[in-house]
Each structure stands twice: as C-alpha cells, then as structure tokens.
Chains A and B, each alone.
Chain A
Amino acid sequence: EAGVVQSPRYKIIEKKQPVAFWCNPISGHNTLYWYRQNLGQGPELLIRYENEEAVDDSQLPKDRFSAERLKGVDSTLKIQPAELGDSAVYLCASTPGTPIYNEQFFGPGTRLTVL
C-alpha cells in the first residue's frame, strides 16, 4: 500500500513569492492534516480536513495561507506571499475516517526555504 505522497520534497523561494505544496493521502483515508514543523520542534497542526471540509483551521494564518481539498482526496497548501519565518518542513498526514482512530500516517514532508 502506498503511503502519503508529498511534492515537492524541497523548495527554495525568495520572500514575497508564492508557493504551493501538494499532498496525496493514503487511499481511503478521509481525514487529512497539514502540519508545520519548525527546526528543532515538533509538528504543529495548521488545518484538518474531514473529506473536503476544513473542520479545524484555527491555527492557519489566513492572511497568507490557504488550503483546499476539492474532491476530498488530494490537497494543496498555499502560501502567498511567503515570509522568511515560513521556512520550515510542511508535513501532510492522513487517517481513516473514524474520528477517534489515533495513529496518523505522515508523508516525508516538503522542506521550504525562504530567502
């Protein structure tokens, strides 16, 4: 079974430029998460989707970050414009539909460097 797929794996951009990350969760996993992991820190949740609905986006900086999951499968996270402080690893994770299912399956992440 294929795991969570993310692309690109690395991205280097200049500040004020836009950037987008893509995630394909494990087949059949209805719940999708985007996390940000700063250097030397644990992942912090940005947004959680149940199918195509964003059910928790309270930690998403909505002035510059946006996300979508139009058909309830793949998801895209966008930053526009990027700032120096956005340099981090952006992780996507997924779980089966049952809300109380504990284990999250993570992708390898996208390492963003903003110059």
Chain B
Amino acid sequence: GNSVTQMEGPVTLSEEAFLTINCTYTATGYPSLFWYVQYPGEGLQLLLKATKADDKGSNKGFEATYRKETTSFHLEKGSVQVSDSAVYFCALSDGPSGGYQKVTFGTGTKLQVIP
C-alpha cells in the first residue's frame, strides 16, 4: 500500500536559519504530493503541492520538488521565521485516473523557531 515517511521532530531552529524537512514516499501509481501545515489549535492547511515528476511546489517562501527517481518531496525554506512554528505533514494522493484519489499522510514534523 501507499505510505509516507517523514523525518521525526521536533526540529528546533533559530530565526533566519535554513529549513529542510525530509519526506519520502511509496506509491503504486503516479501520486500527487503535498505539504500541509497545522498551526497550534487549527486544522491542516495546504501549503504547497506538485502533481508530476520534477514539478516544484512553492508558497510563502517554502518549496519542494517532486523527485520520482528518489521518491522524495523534501520541504525547504531559506530563512525561517518564528511564525513558521507549526507541524508539517507530507502527504500523497493516489488512485485510478479520473477516479477518487485517496490521501495518505505522514506522521508530521514539528518545527519550532526560536528568536
């Protein structure tokens, strides 16, 4: 079955540091890949996505590139801010063409940015 593996947290960084959160996946088809973010007390929000190999998703300074050869979708940001403190979930959706795409989430990585 499909699965998503992401690095364990918590990750603690100083403000303006470079961020990488690793994510690798296993899927039977050609999945779409996502990063969701969950701020304290809130639901998950889509941060960025990529729907095919070599696509780069980007939003709010975050980016991730769909690497089919390494089955990876690592999240990066060049300079983190305190407001980026949250839990980040890597996810994939997969299913038959034109049909329902089931979403599988990773376990989440907590990021704490200190001033």
Residues of A with C-beta under 8 A to B98:
99-100
Q: How far is the CB of B98 from chain A (nearest CB, A)?
A: 6
Contacts of B61 in A (CB 8 A): none
Q: Is B58 an interface residue (CB 8 A)?
A: no
From A43, A99, A104, give the contact of B99 (CB < 8 A). A99
Chain B residues contacting A41 (CB-CB under 8 Å) are 107-108
Interface residues of B (CB under 8 A from A): 4, 32, 34, 36, 41-46, 49, 51, 89, 91, 93, 95, 98-103, 105-108
A91 contacts B108, C-beta separation under 8 Å: no
A31 to B, closest residue via Cβ: B100
Q: Given that A40-B107, A43-B105, A104-B103 are contacting pairs, would A4 and B34 also be in contact in the complex, using a CB cutoff of 8 Å?
A: no
**B34 and A45 contacting across the interface, CB-CB below 8 Å:** no
Name the distance in Å between B55's Cβ and chain A's nearest Cβ: 13
For chain A, the bracket of interface size reads 20 to 34
Residues B46 and A103 in contact, CB atoms below 8 Å apart: yes
A41-B108, A108-B41 given; name 4 further pairs at CB < 8 Å.
A40-B108, A93-B44, A102-B32, A104-B44
Asked whether A102 and B43 contact (CB < 8 A) given A42-B91, A42-B107, A45-B103, the answer is no
- Please measure, in the bound complex, the distance between the C-alpha atom of A45 and the C-alpha atom of B100, giving whole angstroms: 14
Interface contact tally, CB-CB below 8 A: 57
20 A/B residue pairs, CB under 8 Å, sorted by A: A3-B43, A42-B91, A42-B106, A42-B107, A43-B89, A44-B105, A45-B102, A56-B102, A91-B44, A93-B43, A93-B44, A99-B98, A100-B99, A100-B100, A102-B32, A102-B93, A104-B44, A104-B103, A106-B43, A109-B43
The closest CB in chain A to the CB of B92 belongs to A102
When the two chains form their complex, are residues B43 and A108 in contact, meaning their CB atoms are under 8 A apart?
yes
The answer to whether A99 and B43 have CB atoms under 8 Å apart is: no
Among candidates A100, A103, A108, residue contacting B42 with C-beta atoms closer than 8 Å: A108
Least CB distance from A111 to B in Å reads 9
With a 10 A CB-CB cut-off, give which of B89, B98, B100 has the most chain A CB atoms: B100
- Using Cβ atoms and an 8 Å threshold, which residues of chain A touch B106? 42
